[in-house]
Chains A and B, each alone.
Chain A
Amino acid sequence: MSKVFSVLFLISLVAYFAFAMAEELLPGFVSDYFNPHLLLIPVLIFLTTALVYEKGEVRMASSGGERLTSKSRKSQSLLIFLAGAITLGILWIGGREIETAWRVLMAVYGGLLVVGILTVLFKE
């Protein structure tokens, strides 16, 4: 399942980017119909779901089917998301001189970098 949600995450991310850039190049092209930044909601939902399923599959694989609900794993995931969210928030506020589409892009990029780096670092 994590693979399915990973693919959905990537598709929604690319779709978000395509619509946001289209709006940037041709103002009103997308926003006449819907706010392209709303696509960030499925992006975040799919990413979170993929992560949750991924964790479950790792647990199953590493324990031969035995359930592992260690406190450290939960706190680890929480810390990764928190760090990503903090970065996203700081960059969003800091980048207020930039137009919205690029501000979102920069903040999401920074957030993803932090989440990516911490995910590799915290992998046991």
Chain B
Amino acid sequence: MNFFSLIQIELQKIKRSKILLLLVIPVFMMWIPSILNADGIFDTQGIPITPESNFFVQGFMGMVWFMIPATLILCTVLLRQNEHTNHGILKMLALPISGPALCLAKFTVLILLTFVQMLLLILAYYLSAAAASAMVDYTLLLPPLFVFRTVFGFYLATVPMAAVFWMIAVLIASPIFQIGIGLASIVPSVLLINTKVWFAYPMCYPFYLLMIAYGRAAAGVYETTIDWIPWIPIAALLTLAALFIACLRFGHAERK
């Protein structure tokens, strides 16, 4: 069985899980305060930023800080728990399929779901920016090229985090610690973003990119250049290590 049919099967498994509904709701809900506070977008509190950039940054702040990590954890719970009903995972593991391939197929589904979420996010951004523009009589829409490029950057930056969450989900059999460790790791990312070792903490990568976008839009708020050098090698290393460990240990807890 090749890798693509494995992914197809994994997608089939989550077909009736209502996961898309759970992904759609937060994406749109997070924009409601921004629309309601559309007037406040002009009050920049002394920060030199245009209203349209302010709207973009304020709206995406909650999304990249906690909503994207939290929904990633949600998806890992879905991918792990869905198959525990009637010991489905044991049946999968008994088939002549390589364990690592199965593990990677599930990880691919995880990042596919995130990709869908990002597309929905762009849609939600444009809808709410259009609604807010109509309310305040000022165009709050940013050019699509910028929006797509930035959101795609966020997407790439979530991949290491997804790999780490997936590793946690594979290694830890007890669901309470699976969820607990993941959720607890989101909270301090706002502290770590301001330290020098942010690049060692995958949960704050998308937040870092947003802060860079903020720094570029408003001088003096944050740095304007991305520190590619320690970041990219370390992120790649963390991702590969997390995936390697996940593939190695996949199915161990269930076989016991």
**Is chain B a partner of chain A in the same complex?**
no
